[in-house]
Structure 1
Amino acid sequence: MSPRAVHQSLRNALRGYLNTNLLTHGQRQYCIMVTLALAVSVEFLENIMFVFSAGHIMGGIDADPRGFALAQSAYAIGSMLMIVKQQWLARRYGYRRYLAASLLVFSLGTWYAAASTSLSMLVTARLVQGVGGGALFTSSRVLIPLMFAPADRGRAVRLFMLGIFGVSAIGPALSAELIDNGAWQHVFYGVLPLSLLAMAGSWLFLPDAEPSEKPGRPALIPLLWFGAAIAALQIAMSDARFDVFSHPGRLLAIALCGIAMLLGFLWHQWHQDAPLLKLRVLRNPVYLTGLLLYFMYYLLSHLHGYVFPIYAERALQIPLTTVGWLSTIGGLVSLVSIMAYIRYAPRLKRKKPLMILGLLIMAYAAWRFSAMPPDAGVESLIPILALKGLFGVMVVIPVAGLTFRGLGEDNFAHGYQSKNLMRQIASSFASALGAVLLENRQFSVQVSLAGAAAQEPAIAMQWLHHIQDALMARGMDAAQAGSSALAQLTALLDRQALLIASEDMFRLIAALAIGGAVLVLAQRRLA
């Protein structure tokens, strides 16, 4: 007997023992539900922890902000490539092998990220992570209607959503604790146990579900075409914060090249009989409206998620661990809210007022952050973060329930595939937009503050002399005290500039949320 046949026999024996000797049918169904929830939670947890800890990770490998943008772009490229190819791979190898292999690749990428000592290693690791984790969300969600009877699907979806909102809640606090009590590498190591557990569950509990007919050729040329398009767009977005003023022509050329290739890819897919993306079946107006609302939600969510940790830790000078737990407060409110929504949603006949209220809550929370004084304490932030925690449940859950209702079960997988492409595009765009606007606004404010200080040299010199005298009274010599006083003045100007820039970003978020509320109000397709 060949090694492969021995391995197959052992695996079948183990799975058969678990399914017949230890687990009842109901218990096995529950294990499958938990496995799918774990699989989707892996990617959410890793991404939340990576973004929250980005400054410490980049400092650990001695990389600048451009490196962070490049690492994020690498993940997005790998992820979107796999989302496009997800259905072909699932049909070719079956969901059990595909999900287990994806989680294995994701785990290897995560381990390599923790072992990174340079930017090139981290970018490579993020690309591998994207390849492994890109289609976890799509695959896990589309398996629910495939694997469970209508009576069991509600329970499976509830566990699925609780997994997402649960890890979203604990992610920031876990990141902060791991860094504060260890090192930045622990952020990656902290994800590995969940990833390995989901991989084992996928291998043991998911059925082979092998198709009777093998799919056709892998269509590598369209896939590479799509990869080149999104790579060009990701490069344009990641370099925008650095080149928007210094090299605008080059930036515009790269962006236009990416857009042209992407439009060409979509045109090609539209006219293909066996496309990677079945666009023609997704022309349902309710679905297209839902995609627009998804884009709006992910844009607002990721913009706020990018700005708030910077604002709290660097502008308000709140310790990292406290910032992590502050972010977790909003996540816990979301988790409790999703439980309440699951229970009372059937009584809500109209979802549009709920979505409008959620967007107005985000606008109010962002406006409150924009009006915070420089010495705002933790007690001032907690109520706003708790209120903001309602945003996700009140917007994205109703949108999810309305978007796919017109597609039917046959086209649900295609619809969810395109929706997750939209998610990656929106999150990447939000990170790039936040980086460009925050960086440029901070630089502009720094120039203005420096100019104002130069116009009142007597006041600036008086402040410097006061600090210098105080430092000399503590034992410093004149040269050290003068240098330290100048450094403190520079740090104070930098902090003030970041505070003003962050407040402007929160005003932008508030304006976008109000615009989103008006958009939802004007929609007649979503009730």
Structure 2
Amino acid sequence: MSWGWHADRKRLLMLLLGLTVGVEFLENGMFVFAASHIVGGIDAAPREFAQVQAAYAIGSMTMIVLQQWLSRHFGYRRYLSAALALFMLGGLACAGAQDLPQLTLARLLQGFGGGALFTSCRVLVPMLFGPRDRPRALKDFMMVAFALSAAGPLLSAALVEHWGWRWVFLASLPLAALAMAGAWWLMPDNAGRGGEPVRWAAGPLLLFAAAVTLVQMGLAQARFEAFAHPARLAITALCGLGLLAWFFAHQLRHDEPLVRLRELGHPVYLAGLGLYFVHYCLAGASGYVFPIYAERGLGIPLITAGWLNTFSALVTLAAAWAYIKRGARLPRKKPLMAAGALALAVAAWMLSSMPPEAPAGALLFALAAKGVFGALLVLPVAGLTFRDLGDERFAHGYQSKNLMRQVAGTFASALAAITLQDRQFANASQIASHIDTSSPQASNWLDGLQASLTAQGLSSGEAHHAAMASLSRLVDQQALLMSCGDLYRLLAALALGAAVVILVQRRLK
């Protein structure tokens, strides 16, 4: 349906949809980049902190399932305003958290508020704008969301460096408040609201919440328990998947399901969903490893790592703008999608080949290629996946896609963490086996460092222990850098495989 507003108000609404999504992208980007500093801030172990990361995904997936019910019952004006208010309340609670349980509950609350913003705003584009205005609305939606997402790493680094980790949660609140005011003022009161009564059933929702809790907690703990407690991890994951299968079977039989699976069996949509999964897995794994690689592997300062991440995101923004401007003139999208996957393969291979002393500037070309991947693969997939669903089924298709997005992101991070941990142990053992502290080279290095430490006022015993600790840190850093290189080579191979799959498949052309 097209709404006959004044042109200025219509344009503001287009920008508002992008802002609403961008607020969530910005906050999550800052959280991911600053995760290690937040861990230290609440004095939590990385294993414990995994539940904080899972909490947001659990809240998000629950709200994505509920989103259409809530929008039909209350309308998008009230739903978005309330969701943004809940998101801000969760952000304030995160900033004030003093320990792990408080931060976990606050992130769960924030997930309830922000989880379905992306789905809702994207669904509103065809709902609020007619065919003539829709291209401009989509352009504004994507460009604002991409721009705010690009600012996340740099802003996060600057906030942590100068004011502390709590500001990571506070920084997005003014924009969220602006989006909430805009939703209340600009959104039509009856947008999305159903005329017939909406039936409520708590059972399926509770079943889904239990299923995603088990799946997300299993994936979050996989990096820590994959080798120590594989049986317990497998039982948790299988129970979650079993409950999820039960939920989906129930939805297939239900007259008014929360997730309309029966209407989404179109081959083009399913092929697109598969390529979406590939993109989110590749993007999630590369996004997980880069801060570790840059800060801990290469020793790049936090603020510089933020600049590098933002540079790559700005390349994505530029590539997205170019695709929006020129993509319609290219009838065949498969070469573009394959080029996007190949760009990530090139980026991953280059990063895997960097020497230990590589300066930040040496990473720019690889990060530019990674930025190209961020737009060239997913944007053509987005344009092709939903084309045969029609406006009526588009909302259901996008809901299912974003559920898959949450699972793919957690799965990719867990797989990357397990691979990195396994390779780090193997590489550290290999390096240690080649170090002989009695050899002339190692002995001269240790003696020189001990002499320097003794000159600074340490006793002979203290200088020896400090020198050995320094050697241990060097071994750990080198092992981590080698492990990141191994993971990047695996990513390059997977990206090449994705390019082959894209070229071979015949559904999305």
Structures share a fold, TM > 0.5? yes
Show the 5 A alignment for 1:60-99: 60-99=41-80
Partner-residue secondary structure (3-state), 2:146: helix
Give the Cα separation in 1 of the matches to 2:318 and 2:260.
Answer: 37
1:336 aligns with 2:318: yes
Show the 5 A alignment for 1:100-499: 100-209=81-190, 211=193, 213-453=195-435, 460-499=442-481
Give the Cα separation in 2 of the matches to 1:72 and 1:457.
Answer: 45
Give the Cα separation in 2 of the matches to 1:385 and 1:175.
Answer: 19
* Partner AA of 1:342 in structure 2: I
Q: Is the 8 A contact 1:69 1:432 kept in 2?
A: no
Measured at CA, do residues 264 and 60 of structure 1 come closer, stay the same or move farther in structure 2, by a change above 3 Å?
same
C-alpha displacement of 1:289: 0.4
Partner-residue secondary structure (3-state), 2:324: helix
C-alpha displacement of 1:463: 3.1
CA deviation string 1:370-421 (max 9, x = no partner): 0100000012111211222111211110000000001011100000000111
C-alpha displacement of 1:455: 8.8
Q: Is the 8 A contact 1:241 1:440 kept in 2?
A: no
Is 377-386 or 434-443 further displaced after alignment? 434-443
Give the Cα separation in 1 of the matches to 2:289 and 2:243.
Answer: 31
Give the Cα separation in 1 of the matches to 2:196 and 2:440.
Answer: 80
Give the Cα separation in 2 of the matches to 1:212 and 1:134.
Answer: 22
Q: Is the 8 A contact 1:82 1:131 kept in 2?
A: yes
* Partner AA of 1:430 in structure 2: A
CA deviation string 1:172-225 (max 9, x = no partner): 111111111211111111111111111110011101116453443322111111
CA deviation string 1:288-347 (max 9, x = no partner): 000010011111111111101110011101110000001111111111122211111121
Residue among 37, 40, 49 paired with 1:59: 40
C-alpha displacement of 1:440: 2.4
Is 238-247 or 366-375 further displaced after alignment? 238-247
Is 31-40 or 89-98 further displaced after alignment? 31-40
Give the Cα separation in 2 of the matches to 1:456 and 1:165.
Answer: 55
Gaps of 5+ in 2: none
Partner-residue secondary structure (3-state), 1:401: helix
Measured at CA, do residues 357 and 489 of structure 1 come closer, stay the same or move farther in structure 2, by a change above 3 Å?
same
Give the Cα separation in 1 of the matches to 2:50 and 2:282.
Answer: 18
Q: Is the 8 A contact 1:88 1:215 kept in 2?
A: no
C-alpha displacement of 1:439: 2.0
* Partner AA of 1:237 in structure 2: L
C-alpha displacement of 1:246: 1.7
Give the Cα separation in 1 of the matches to 2:431 and 2:322.
Answer: 48
Match of 1:11?
none
C-alpha displacement of 1:242: 1.6
Is 155-164 or 466-475 further displaced after alignment? 466-475
Measured at CA, do residues 453 and 215 of structure 1 come closer, stay the same or move farther in structure 2, by a change above 3 Å?
farther
Q: Is the 8 A contact 2:346 2:369 kept in 1?
A: no
Give the structure-1-normalised TM-score.
0.93
Is 451-460 or 281-290 further displaced after alignment? 451-460
Give the Cα separation in 2 of the matches to 1:503 and 1:484.
Answer: 29
Measured at CA, do residues 78 and 205 of structure 1 come closer, stay the same or move farther in structure 2, by a change above 3 Å?
same
Match of 1:510?
492
Gaps of 5+ in 1: 1-18
Measured at CA, do residues 206 and 253 of structure 1 come closer, stay the same or move farther in structure 2, by a change above 3 Å?
same
Is 402-411 or 162-171 further displaced after alignment? 162-171
Partner-residue secondary structure (3-state), 2:377: helix
CA deviation string 1:473-508 (max 9, x = no partner): 343321221121011111101101110111111111
C-alpha displacement of 1:512: 1.1
Give the Cα separation in 2 of the matches to 1:504 and 1:474.
Answer: 39
* Partner AA of 2:77 in structure 1: R
Give the Cα separation in 2 of the matches to 1:205 and 1:213.
Answer: 21
CA deviation string 1:326-369 (max 9, x = no partner): 11111111111222111111211100000001100100110000
Give the Cα separation in 2 of the matches to 1:202 and 1:523.
Answer: 41
